[in-house]
Structure 1
Amino acid sequence: MTVRQLDRDQCLDIIEKNRLGRLACISIGVPYIVPIHYVHAEDHLYAFSMPGRKIEALRSDPGAAILVEDIDTPQHWRTVMVRGRYEELPDRIGFKRLRDRAWQLLSRHAVWWEPGAYKPVAPALAFKSEQVFFRISIDEISGRESIDGD
């Protein structure tokens, strides 16, 4: 097996084809990693959550990383690491367009709210919702894959 670097377009292709990643952030001074569903658009990964440790950590330190894996077998895999910054899309004036865009992108896919929470209500029906829509910028992206060979 040989491991090789992926170029940016190959990395973006893997990001686009997948919906589940592992979000890494710093919580109270230590690494914290959780699974999230995401959607890629406009050089960002859009996601949803309910308030909790992950959101508290990202609000405190917006640096984040997301690992996306595409594994066929232990000898044939591709992984992509995105490094960027957390940006919350609150339910208030000035963020409506971005929040609606996140909702529109995410809701195209089945069970997009998992593993973050219960199914959220439509944005027009939400009142003082605790639902957190956010995005992670793609500031850096890198990837590797294993290929057959010696």
Structure 2
Amino acid sequence: MTMVLRNMSHAECLAMLEGSHYGHLACCNDGQPYVVPLYFAFQARVAYSFSMPGRKIEWMRQNPKVCLQVEESPSKGSWKSVVLNGRFQELTDTDAWHEERLHAWSLLAKHFDWWEVGSLKPVDVPLATASSHLFYGIYLNDVSGRIAMQVD
């Protein structure tokens, strides 16, 4: 058996993002990288997601250059991986972002577990009078991917 590696086309990368809803988000602050799991919904060159306030949101507000990585491993020795390089944009609860927030929510809500990673914290968070949930988009700048396959 031989391993064959090839680059994915732009269309293959977008199709994989559209078909995925779990990945890893990387952001950076003062030269320190930070990678977290997240659920997302990708459509029209934007990966939409949801979060509570925390390090990830603080860092992305300070440095909106981020990347999202997704992968599949359909069989032993075979895998696909796509990296989306993009720009963080918070979808604030304002008139200017109202329609896009609703769009993000409608896409995310198609997955039963969309809110879990973004809303759970390892410690109890005091109840607030207003919702602290945040919606945001990662707007695609460029995308690349690779496929590895075992061949006879």
Same fold (TM over 0.5): yes
- Aligned partner of 1:87 in structure 2 is 89
- Aligned partner of 1:68 in structure 2 is 70
Q: What secondary structure does 1:108 align onto? A: coil
- Aligned partner of 1:47 in structure 2 is 49
Q: C-alpha deviations, 1:106-139, integer Å up to 9, x for none?
A: 1111110121115xxxxxxxx7321110000111
- Structure having the higher helix fraction is 2
Cα displacement (A) at 1:35: 0.3
State the distance in 1 between where 2:42 and 2:137 align: 9
Cα displacement (A) at 1:18: 1.2
The answer to whether residue 51 in structure 2 is matched with residue 10 in structure 1 is no
State the distance in 2 between where 1:94 and 1:116 align: 23
Cα displacement (A) at 1:148: 2.5
Q: What secondary structure does 2:50 align onto? A: strand
Q: What secondary structure does 1:138 align onto? A: strand
Uncovered stretches (5+) of structure 1, i.e. residues with no partner = 119-126
- Aligned partner of 1:136 in structure 2 is 138
The one-letter code of the counterpart of 1:147 is: M
State the distance in 2 between where 1:74 and 1:141 align: 25
Count residues with an aligned counterpart: 142
Cα displacement (A) at 1:29: 2.8
Uncovered stretches (5+) of structure 2, i.e. residues with no partner = 121-128
Counterpart among 27, 30, 33 of residue 29 in structure 2: 27
State the distance in 2 between where 1:148 and 1:89 align: 42
- Aligned partner of 1:122 in structure 2 is none
The answer to whether residue 105 in structure 2 is matched with residue 103 in structure 1 is yes
State the distance in 2 between where 1:95 and 1:67 align: 26
State the distance in 2 between where 1:28 and 1:97 align: 33
Q: What secondary structure does 1:116 align onto? A: helix
Q: Percent identity?
A: 37
State the distance in 2 between where 1:22 and 1:74 align: 21
Please, what TM-score do these two structures have when normalized by structure 1? Answer: 0.89
Please, what TM-score do these two structures have when normalized by structure 2? Answer: 0.88
The one-letter code of the counterpart of 1:96 is: H
- Aligned partner of 2:38 in structure 1 is 36
Moved over 6 A (4+): none
State the distance in 1 between where 2:114 and 2:31 align: 29
